[in-house]
Structure formats: structure tokens, C-alpha cells
Structure 1
Amino acid sequence: MTRTGRGAGLGPARAVLLVAALLALTACGGEEPATPVTETVDAEVAADKGTPPTPEVPLVWPLTGVAAEEVADRPALAVKIENAQQARPQTGLEQADVVWEEVVEGGITRFVAVYHSQVPELVGPVRSVRPMDPAIVAPLHGVLAYTGGQEPFVDAVEAAGTQSVVMDEGDDGFVTTRARRAPHNVYASPEELWAQADDGRAAPPPAQLVFAREPGTGTATATGTEAARLDVRLTFASRAVWEWDGGEGRWVRSEGDAPAVSSDEVRLAATNVVLLAAPLQNTRFKDPAGVPVPETLLVGTGDGVVASGGRQVSVTWSKEAVDAPLVLTGADGAPVELEPGTTWLELVPLGSGSWEIG
């Protein structure tokens, strides 16, 4: 969008030029002086001196910062995807713009995969909502799809201003497969999930993270220290490893020592990996097995790392409210810019979790 400044010139003006021609006749003529002649002429109109136009900002996909010729008019779609061993390999994770990994009960993890720029045919396995999900998805003002969940968690999603599409409530878009046992057999069609978005959720999501304008100029890439491997210990049972692939220009993921791939045998990878040390506490709610349901506390601030371009930089993360976006700042207090592309965020439990960078 180009904004044009308001013109600085004045409107047309009239200037009166008085021309008095006093003809002195010879004394012998004895004639009366001639009547003065008055002539009105237009003043010169000042040129319109409008302010220079604001430089046009390139169009990019809001959740990746990747240049786009056109951005689709659809909301962000977040889907709860399982990461238990029985759920692997997952479907559609490789096409998500943003993926959050969170710790749930039993020491396992789940993903909140956010889609906008790409439209997978299917995603899954889809699972239930957890108490930290509203803080993750609320800033997107979009849709969250999941199989079900305890009533307080479901209510919290609505209270955060996010629309729920829920299998247990009879919503469309979910399918089951005989190839896997329940509850690891539920998948969803993003097209059908998007079709159920409320009328007020037709616009693209607001940008969440700050991306560099040009590839190769992100904060970590430009100023960080070299990093070839991120070893992230989430729980006693969950460990994510990210290794820099210079040939591909991205971080490739492993579940422990096993390469993480999609159901289409595509290696899971990310342009940016963000590590966030955040408090994890048990809620008063329990799962069907009687295990307390934990919640990652995302409203607050803490330490973190941004890894891009085979380099890493320490950051401070902050989030002012449930519906406020995540903010990443460097040691100088300036916003940290990510590389244009996909981003995975690891919610590492403060105290019990850890990471090693080599």
C-alpha cells in the first residue's frame, strides 16, 4: 500500500495589480487627466508539493515471512497433533508454517501445528486440547481443531477468542483409519476444517514473529555463534535433536537418535528453531489414567535461544497476556529477526528440561 502525503500548495488566489497611467498633457492642452486603468490578473498557482510516497512493503506470508504474490484470505488453522511413538510418522507436519512442541502428561509431547501458507490433504493423528493451548493460539485469532478435551480446557479456548472445531462435538472434517489403533487413528482435512470457520474469521492471521526482510540477514545468522546441533531434553522420555544441514539450509529433526520423517517419508525440518525455557506445573486436572495434566506457563518472560542459518543467539522471550503474541528480544533489547521460512518452537520445562548446543 502506498500512502500519498497531503499537498502543501495553497488554493488558487486572486492578485490585484493596480496599473495607474497618469498622462501628463501639455499645459496648452488643458485636458483632464485620464481615468486610471485597473487590471486584474491571476496569480501563479503554487505547485502541489506532496510528500514522497511511503516505500511499498513487499507482500509476505504472515506466519513465515516468505515473499508471496498473493496471500490467501483464510485464517490460521491450528491442529493438535500427537507425538507418542504410536503416532509416528505423522501426516502433514512438514507443511505447517509454525509448530509448537509442548509437554503433556506421562512425559510425552504433543504438537500445535499451525497452517496458513500451505494446505495439506490430511493432518494427524489429531488429539485433544491441553491447558496451554489457548495461550499458543489466541494471538492468531483463528481456528483450533482437536478431538476433544476436559471441559475447562475447551472453555478456555473459546474464552481466548479462538474458534474450536471438535470431533467429539460432531464437527466435520475428521476421519479415522483402520491402519492404526484408537486413539492414534484420527486425521483431519484442513480444507474441511477451514470451511467451518466463522464469517468473522476470513482474513489472514496477523504476523506473530519478526522476520528479516532478506534471507540470510536474520539476527542469529548475522550475529550469532556457530551451532551444528541442538540437543533438547524435554522430559525423561522425550528428546528432540536438531542438526544443521548446510546443503539444504535448514535444521533437520530427530526423535532422540531416530530421524523424524513424515508419513510421506519427508524429513521433518525447520528454517528456524526457537528454544523457550518456561515454567511447567501440574494442574488440578487428571487424565483418564489419573496422571496430573501439566500446563506450560506462557504469560511471563524467560530465557531462550533462536537458531537460524547454522548459528544461534541467546534471547529473552516475553508474553504479556494470553492473547498477546510472543516477543523475542536480544541482549540489546532489539527485536530478534528470524529467517523467512518455517519455525518450530520447543517449550522446554524450566528446571527439569535442558538443552545442549554444539
Structure 2
Amino acid sequence: MKKKLFRMLTGLILSCSLAGSSTVMAQEADSSDTVKSYLTGEDVPASIGRRRPVAVMLGNDRNGAPQSGLTNAGVIYEAPVEGQITRLMGIFEDYDNLEKIGSVRSCRDYYIFYANEFNAIYTHYGQAAYALPYLEQHAIDNLNGLTMGSTAFFRTTDRQAPHNAYTTPQLLQNGIDAMGYSQEYKSDYTGHYLFAEDGTETTLDNGTAANVVKLDNYGDNHPWFEYNADTKEYSRFQFGEAHIDELNGQQLTCDNIILQYSAYKPYDSNGYLNVDVMTPGQGKFITRGKAIDIRWEKDSPWGITHYYDANDQEIRLNPGRTWVAIIQNDKVDSISYQ
């Protein structure tokens, strides 16, 4: 009887030990699982790559730059707003370790459509009047500083308002929780871009040289990109100097540049723009020091923009950060390549 009891206890202890080991192994496996990022095409932890990103509106005039946190953005949009200036929108999936993100500025209606292409939670501080109907109709999950205040944002003392509004990873989480937004992608979302297959790269062998790309169509910051053949990245400049991330002093870089030529018209005499996000247009795809002509189209206003080469094949980006520049179609001639 004692031997039988001993064997039962031994078996129970062994079973518990194996179960505990299995749990530890499962936890280790979960923490080491990687997926292809929808934003960059790179291998990232599943906890990052399958969490809905946040799309943060950022000031980009002389008072709003340099921004904080942009080196962590997987995709950056730049588009004109009123007064010759541009606004940036950083799309972030990996932001947990950032001290702050900002400065956060107000919404323009066309940015809502760009953010929605990534199933992102759109983060902004206020809005132009023309964007208000979309926000009031909850056309996109969004965190608005005017209504959420200190729940999701804070102000610094080193800059004057409105250029001093920022958010943090914890404040973003507070805002998402307060609004009850899901942090999982929609079940039918399968990503935005196509990327080069593992072990290959997109070289645009038949493209034209694009070692320096100057976007003088943007009349305030006059940005440009310079290609580094050693790193295979483009370095970003504006206002006559390197465009840096204020948090770490690093110059912003990207692996891909997409120029999206778009129709537009003024909304009013104040210069607010109605940028056409739906009517198909032309553009450029730039990577690895070369540029090719592309066309873009989307099947619905809330759908994803697809970019095609001269052979009607959807372009494949190189893994890494992508910079999308929205170019007013009557200012295309202001862009130069060297």
C-alpha cells in the first residue's frame, strides 16, 4: 500500500513538473514568436506586429520640428496643409519604450483616410472644421486632445502652445482603454504593402538615378533625401539641415519613398485643402538609389491605396521604413532628382 501511494505521489509530482515546464516553454515560445510587420515587412515580435498601430499627427513647421519619436515610426506620411507648411503622420506599432511622441497637432480630413488604410487608431489634438463630420460620425477610431485632454495627452513647458502637446505610451493606452477601442486588427485586414521576398531586394534596375531627391514643392521646409549606398537608406533633410528625432538626436532615414501625386482644390480662402484621396493618379517609387514611374488607385474611399509599375504589377517595397509624400499634382515639376 505504501509503495502504491509512493508511486501515485511520484506520478503526480512528475505531472505537475511537466505541466509547469510546458507552461514555461509556451510562454517562452509566445515571447519569441515573430511575424512580418504590416508596416515595415520586417520580422517583429507578434505582440508588436499584430497590435493595431497608432497614427499620430505631428507638427512640421519651424515651431513643431524636430519631432519626438519618429525614428520608431514604420510609415511616415507628409502632406501639405494651409500656409505652405506640411504636417507629418507617423504610424507606430513599436512605441512602448518612447519617452514621448509629438508634438501632436490637429487633424486634416484627408489624413483620416490615410490612417484608416492601416487600420490605425488616429491620434490628434483638435481638427479643421472639414474633418469634424468624419470624427462626429466615428468614421475612424481616434484619440482627440480637445475631448480627452490629460487622459491621453500632456503639455510641456519647453515650447509654446499649440506646439507643446505630446503623448506617451501609457497615455495612449489610457486613451484607448477609455474609448474601449480594440487593439487587434480587423479580422479581414491582411496588410497594406507588398514587400520583397526574404533573401531578395527591390533594385529598380531600369529606373532613373535618384541619389538625391528634392521636394521643393513644399514651400516652407524644402525637404530632400540623400541615398547612402552603404546603408541602402535615404537620409532626410529639411530647413537646410538634417531632420532629426529630438529624443535621440538621430537623423531620420527611410528605405522607400513613395510620391503620390494628388488632385486638390482649396476649401476656402483660408487655404484649407481638399486633397483628393480617391481619384487615381501617378507618382514615383524610389528605393536603392533609383526611381520609377508608378500609378496609384483604390477601390473605395476607405480602402487601401495600391501602387503599380509600368507593367501593371503592384510594387514590392524593401523591408524597412516607408516615407509617403503627397504631392499636389500642379507642383510635380518642383521635384528634382540627381
Contact 1:139 1:324 in 2 (8 A): yes
Q: Which residue of 1 aligns with 2:125?
A: 147
Contact 1:101 1:345 in 2 (8 A): yes
Contact 1:305 1:314 in 2 (8 A): yes
Q: CA deviation at 1:182?
A: 1.0
54, 58, 61: which one pairs with 1:77? 54
Distance 1:303 1:232 in 2: 16
Q: Indicate yes or no: 2:106 matched with 1:128.
A: yes
Deviations 1:32-57 (A, max 9, x none): xxxxxxxxxxxxxxxxxxxxxxxxxx
Q: Which amino acid aligns with 1:312?
A: A
Distance 1:215 1:357 in 2: 29
SS of the residue aligned with 2:326? Answer: strand
- Aligned sequence identity (%): 20
Q: Which amino acid aligns with 1:201?
A: S
Q: CA deviation at 1:227?
A: 2.0
SS of the residue aligned with 2:122? Answer: strand
TM-score (norm 2): 0.81
Q: Which residue of 2 aligns with 1:201?
A: 182
Alpha carbons of 1:216 and 1:194: their partners in 2 closer, same or farther (altered >3 Å)? farther
Distance 2:209 2:331 in 1: 26
Greater mean alpha carbon deviation, residues 139-148 or residues 151-160 = 151-160
Distance 1:294 1:150 in 2: 10
TM-score (norm 1): 0.77
Deviations 1:207-257 (A, max 9, x none): 111111236522x44553332111112333232201101222210011143
Deviations 1:177-199 (A, max 9, x none): 11011111111113421443355
Q: Which residue of 2 aligns with 1:40?
A: none
309, 318, 322: which one pairs with 1:339? 318
Contact 1:134 1:322 in 2 (8 A): no
Distance 1:115 1:191 in 2: 14
Greater mean alpha carbon deviation, residues 157-166 or residues 104-113 = 157-166
Alpha carbons of 1:200 and 1:167: their partners in 2 closer, same or farther (altered >3 Å)? closer
Q: Which residue of 1 aligns with 2:277?
A: 298
Contact 2:112 2:122 in 1 (8 A): no
Q: Which residue of 2 aligns with 1:210?
A: 194
SS of the residue aligned with 2:195? Answer: coil
Q: Which amino acid aligns with 2:263?
A: P
List alignment gaps of at least 5 residues for structure 1: 1-57
List alignment gaps of at least 5 residues for structure 2: 1-33
Q: Indicate yes or no: 2:242 matched with 1:266.
A: no
Alpha carbons of 1:326 and 1:297: their partners in 2 closer, same or farther (altered >3 Å)? same
Distance 1:117 1:221 in 2: 29
Q: Which protein is richer in helix relative to its size? A: 2
37, 53, 59: which one pairs with 1:61? 37
Alpha carbons of 1:183 and 1:331: their partners in 2 closer, same or farther (altered >3 Å)? same
Q: Which residue of 1 aligns with 2:303?
A: 324
Question: For residues 1-358 of structure 1, what are the structure 2 equivalents within 5 Å?
Answer: 59-72=35-48, 73-119=50-96, 120-157=98-135, 159=137, 161-171=139-149, 172-197=151-176, 199=180, 201-204=182-185, 206-214=190-198, 216-218=200-202, 220-263=203-246, 264-284=248-268, 291-353=270-332, 354-358=334-338
Contact 2:66 2:243 in 1 (8 A): yes
Alpha carbons of 1:215 and 1:187: their partners in 2 closer, same or farther (altered >3 Å)? farther
Alpha carbons of 1:181 and 1:339: their partners in 2 closer, same or farther (altered >3 Å)? same
Greater C-alpha Rg:
1
Alpha carbons of 1:230 and 1:256: their partners in 2 closer, same or farther (altered >3 Å)? farther
